[in-house]
Each structure stands twice: as structure tokens, then as C-alpha cells.
A and B are shown apart, each in its own frame.
Chain A
Amino acid sequence: MILQTNGISKSYSKKKNSRMITVLDSTDIELRAGELTVIVGRSGSGKTTLLNILAGLLRPSEGSVLYDGMDIYGCSDKELSAFRAEHTGYIPQSQSILHDLDVKNNILLPSALIGKDESANARLLMDELGIASLENSYPDELSGGELRRTAVARALINEPSFIFADEPTNDLDVKNSSLVFGLLKKKAEEGAAVIVVTHEQSAAEYADNVYQMESGRLRSL
């Protein structure tokens, strides 16, 4: 699968009738299966905006996002949601684990949504990420790092074709950061297209492609 964009950009106006602020300039990018792409940049540079547009979560002001030629923003909400559920995995920057479910059910939620039983895969992921002993724990019993690793497992449960990770190693120590990057690299090698947005320069060593985002402009490194 290939993800392509055609001149996507995003602008906001904070108040009605006031000047528009451009957070993302006209951008073209291509993500291919089997490749890990890293986008580095400072806070507020527009990395998360780009990621959310690519992931189908934020409609661009201009341009289109094409998955194998299909314009995702031309689909209905139902079609887009179904596509996201089956083919994408997203690791948000902030804590995103649901407080009403234990670790195991949090991880299995995306598979339950598409009606698949991925209990075996869940067990493997929990073992790989070192959270197997926490499967029946609830989020209020976990540390920030454990919550982060749970979010990673949840994003990977359906073996998605496209993986979007926004600062996936926040709250993680060096050892666990390597673990997560290693896992994302492994998924890319298994055929997924992975895009990681991070301020960590060390992520580049795992990447097939590296980009820099600065004031809404993307350039290849």
C-alpha cells in the first residue's frame, strides 16, 4: 500500500473574521509499505498536524490524501472510520488509555471493533513490551511508561498497514524507548508503512527516511 499527499496544507483562524494562521504549508509526502519514516522537529512546528491529516483525523484546508489512489477525505464518515479501524494504528502523543477498561481490554478494543479475536496477538505484544503481568490492571494502577506501552500495543493489535506514532517514547526510559523503536522497525520490516513524529534525534537511526519539520514546512534530510 502507498500513502500519498497532493499539496496538503492546514490553516486556522483563532477568532471569527481574524487573520488565518498557517500551521502546515503545502506538503507532498509519500509513505510506502515496508519503510519507517521519521519526522523530527521542535514543538509547535506542525508535525502533529501533518500526522493527524495523514491518519485521516484532520481534514486539510487544501489538498488530498490518497491511500492507493483513494481520497480518504472524499469518503463518508462510516467508510473512513472503517478504513481507519482496519488498516491504521495510531499512537497519540498524550495519554490515551481508556480508564474504564483493563490493560488487556484496552489493547483488544480495536480488534473487537472489527469483530476479530486477537487474544493471541495481544499476548505476544504484551510479552514483547513487558506488560504481560499487568493485563488485568486498570490504568490508575499503572505508571506513565506502562500506559505508553499499552497504547503502543493497542495501535499494533490489528497488524495495520499504516502505523502513525506521535512521540511514542514520551514517558519511556532509554531501555523501553529502544524497545518501542525496535518494535516499530520490526513492523516496517514485516510490511507496514510506519511514520514516527518525534523530537528525539536518536530515532533517525531506525529510519528509512528522515524529514525535518520547521514552521510548517517539511524538508527531506
Chain B
Amino acid sequence: MGTYRLPLHNLKRRPFRTAVLIVISALMTASVFGGLIISSSLKNGLDSLEQRLGADIIVVPKDAEAKTDLENLLLQGTPGYFYMDKSVQEKISAVEGIDLTSPQYFLVSANAECCSVKVQIIGFDEDSDFAVKPWLKEVYDGRLGANEIIVGSKISTRVGHTLKLYGVECKAVGKLDATGTGLDTAIYTTNETVRTLIAASQEKGISVLAKQSPENVISSVYIKVRDGYDAGEVAGNINLTVDGVQAVRTRSMITGTADRLSVISGSIGFFSAAVCVLAAVIMTAAFSVLANERRKEFAVLRVIGFSRRKLGEVVLSETVFICLAGAVSGLLLTALTVLPFGTLIEQKTGLPYLSPDMVKLLIYAFLAFGAVMVTGPLASAWSAYRLSRVDTGSILREGT
């Protein structure tokens, strides 16, 4: 038996104590790793939302529910629909400071044959659109033809396959990357296709939740503000000059979401820190108690010829083995829970949520691993020092 095996023997012969310390290290690792994943996913989701909105202002009908419906759609993917007269777009374009405008049409299918849940369909104008096309271009470079759709990342249809909406075979020509927002559960298509779907639903006698046809109404107008103009002022002007509408600054939607996010992230950070501190305190106490119990054992090792340094190494080796086992278990446990349950976390928090990529995950895993591998040995350092300085003579006499 090499002396490097001595720490392992020591750990094996005290299984309960070893298991408890491993569990503590695992919990510490899990809280750091899990906390980092959730916080960064929330931030990614928010950044993604900001990018995907594309517009500075979104104009929706004046009724109070429309704004809430829009937020729910963007953040949680709750299908929504609201309409205003098409002429509103021309009036908006006339307001000073506006660079680009593009209308969108929302349709909700109560029963698409693909799924037994409501699906949000977003019709956009290919000629004037600036908010959706940059993203669509990444997955499909071309104009959408008749009955062609682009699906969000959370719809299971594969590219090239068809989806039946009200009996109409719609071909999915592209699938958007995950955004972590409610737009992941939407279907994008042209207004022409939307008209076709409405007609098909009426033929089938299925009541479509949309009340009017896209010839006369739109759901929202996306606006890009001209350089040098303040979006807040432009939104204010729209509200004053155009009847029946409300202009929503996307910045304020994002700020509102950011505030909620920072509360949640702050709580997660606090919780992780508390677990780490508690783990460090418990480990320090445990090693300190053990140091007292093992004075005689270390006196015997000293008698055999272990140097002070080697005694310290024995203690630190035990700690390293424990922390290693705990860190690996903690990382695996977190990977098995936090990552697969990402969509559920998104649903429960009601916030945009986009898991980090593999590189970031490895970095976070490394950080969590490092935190435990530093804390553990530090917690046992004082015990290691005390045991390496054990007074052999008096301890061996104590037992007589």
C-alpha cells in the first residue's frame, strides 16, 4: 500500500462522515453552478428579447388589455390578438421623427391540427418589414411563398415538413433559433397566407378567434425612430396625434422586465452565497472537530516517520478527495436538473430565458468546481496545520 492510499483508507472507514462532507460539497457546487446557469439564462433571455424586438416603438390599439396581451405574447408566448383600423399606419407614418413602419397581424388558431393548444400566428408585410426579416433571413433567404411558414424553435415541426393549419398544408421552410422569448412558440407567415387560413377555417366551420379579416385591420405597427429623435417624445406625439392607439416604448418593456429579472437574479445570488458560506462554515467546524479526534492517530504517524509536511498533505488529500467527489456529483446533479427543466423555469418565472451555450456552461462548471476545490482545502487548512504540529511526546503519554 502506498502512503498516497492512506487518505482513501481513512475516508472509506468513516463512510457516514465522508458521505455528509461530500453532500455538503455537492450542494455548494450545485448552488454555484445552478445559480450561474439560471442567472445567465435570464440575462440571455432579456438580451435576446431586446434584440428580437427590433423596433423602438410598437403601436397597439388603445384598449388597456392590448398592451398586456402584447407583453404576455412576447415574454411568455401566450397567444393574443387585438385589432385596429388599417388606416392608422398612414397616420402614424406622418408623425415627425419616424423612420420606418411595418404592420403585423396576429391570428390565434384555437385548434391547429398540429397541436391541441392555441398557436400564435404572426402575419407580416414582406415589403415593409424590418423587425422580423433580419431573423428570418438567418434561416431562410427568400420570399415566403403561398402557404409557406417559418416556425419558432419550440414548435416540433422540422424544416421541410408540413403542418396542417385548418386543413391547409403549410410548409415549414425555416425554423428560428431559440430566443428564450414567447416568440419561440409562434408561426410567421405572410398576410396572404393568413387570409388563406381564415378562409379555410370559415369553410370548416371552425370559429376563428380573429374577428375581422386582414384587408381592413392590423394588430400592431412596428416603428423605427429616426436618428436624432428621442423615442419617448415620438411615442408621446403618436399618442397625441393618432386616435385609438397607444404607443409602447420597447425600452420600457425591457426595463420593466429587467427590474423583475434583477430581483430574481439577486435572490438567486443571495441564496447561492448563503449556501457557500454555510458549507464553508460547516466544513471548517467538521474538520476542526476531527482534528481533535485524530491527534493521537497523527502522533503515531509522526512516530513512524511522517514529516510535518507529509502530515499536512494527508489531511489536505482527504479534503481534496471529498471536494472532488462532491464537486463532480454537484455538477452532474445540476446538469440533470437545471438544464432539462429550463423551459419550466421560463414558464414559472414568466421571464425570457435562454440557456447559455456549451462554452459558457463549461466556464460556469469550472468556476463552481474551482469554488469548492478552493473552499474545502481552506476550511481544513487550520486543522492540517494543527495536526502537523502535534506534540508527539505528550500525546503518546496521554494514553497511559
A interface, CB within 8 angstroms of B? 43, 48-49, 52, 55, 57-58, 77-78, 81-82, 84-86, 88, 90, 92-96, 98-101, 105, 108-110, 112-114, 138, 154, 166
Query: Closest CB-CB distance, B396 to chain A, in whole Å?
Result: 5
Select the residue from A94, A114, A154 with max chain B CB neighbours within 10 A: A94
Chain A minimum-CB-distance residue to B4: A112
Assembly CA distance A140 to B120 (angstroms): 71
Q: Which residues of A contact B204 (CB under 8 A)?
A: none
Check A98–B307 contact: CB distance below 8 A. no
Check B13–A81 contact: CB distance below 8 A. no
Q: Which residues of B contact A85 (CB under 8 A)?
A: 304-306
Chain B minimum-CB-distance residue to A88: B305
* Any A CB within 8 A of the CB of B297: yes
Chain B minimum-CB-distance residue to A154: B304
- 4 shortest interchain CB distances as A-B pairs: A85-B305, A94-B399, A81-B307, A58-B393
Assembly CA distance A52 to B303 (angstroms): 10
Select the residue from B1, B9, B13 with max chain A CB neighbours within 10 A: B1
Would A108 and B1 be within 8 Å (CB), given that A85-B305, A100-B13 are in contact? yes
Q: Which residues of A contact B216 (CB under 8 A)?
A: none
Assembly CA distance A109 to B400 (angstroms): 24
Contact residue among A52, A93, A95, A110 (Cβ-Cβ distance under 8 Å from B304): A110
Q: Which residues of B contact A166 (CB under 8 A)?
A: 396
Check B309–A78 contact: CB distance below 8 A. yes
Chain B minimum-CB-distance residue to A90: B303
Contact residue among B1, B10, B396 (Cβ-Cβ distance under 8 Å from A96): B396
Chain B interface residue bracket vs A: 20 to 34
Q: Which residues of A contact B240 (CB under 8 A)?
A: none
Assembly CA distance A131 to B143 (angstroms): 89
Query: Closest CB-CB distance, A76 to chain B, in whole Å?
Result: 9
For this complex, 22 residue pairs linking A to B, each with C-beta atoms less than 8 Å apart, are: A43-B400, A48-B396, A48-B397, A52-B396, A57-B393, A58-B393, A77-B307, A81-B305, A81-B306, A84-B305, A85-B304, A90-B303, A90-B304, A92-B303, A96-B399, A99-B13, A100-B6, A101-B1, A101-B6, A109-B3, A112-B1, A112-B2
Would A93 and B400 be within 8 Å (CB), given that A57-B302, A99-B297, A112-B1 are in contact? yes
Assembly CA distance A108 to B396 (angstroms): 21
Q: Which residues of B contact A96 (CB under 8 A)?
A: 296, 300, 303, 396, 399
Contact residue among B307, B310, B398 (Cβ-Cβ distance under 8 Å from A94): B398
Check A94–B400 contact: CB distance below 8 A. yes
* Any A CB within 8 A of the CB of B392: yes
Check B307–A112 contact: CB distance below 8 A. no
Query: Closest CB-CB distance, A87 to chain B, in whole Å?
Result: 9
Would A57 and B392 be within 8 Å (CB), given that A100-B14, A112-B1 are in contact? yes
Q: Which residues of B contact A114 (CB under 8 A)?
A: 305
Assembly CA distance A185 to B281 (angstroms): 53
**Binary flags per residue of B365-393, CB closer than 8 Å to A gives 1, else 0:** 00000000000000000000000000011
Assembly CA distance A93 to B397 (angstroms): 8
Would A113 and B305 be within 8 Å (CB), given that A48-B397, A58-B393, A96-B300 are in contact? yes
Assembly CA distance A57 to B296 (angstroms): 14
Check A113–B3 contact: CB distance below 8 A. yes
* Any A CB within 8 A of the CB of B154: no
Q: Which residues of A contact B86 (CB under 8 A)?
A: none
Chain A minimum-CB-distance residue to B14: A100
Select the residue from A95, A96, A138 with max chain B CB neighbours within 10 A: A96
* Any A CB within 8 A of the CB of B118: no
Q: Which residues of B contact A95 (CB under 8 A)?
A: 399
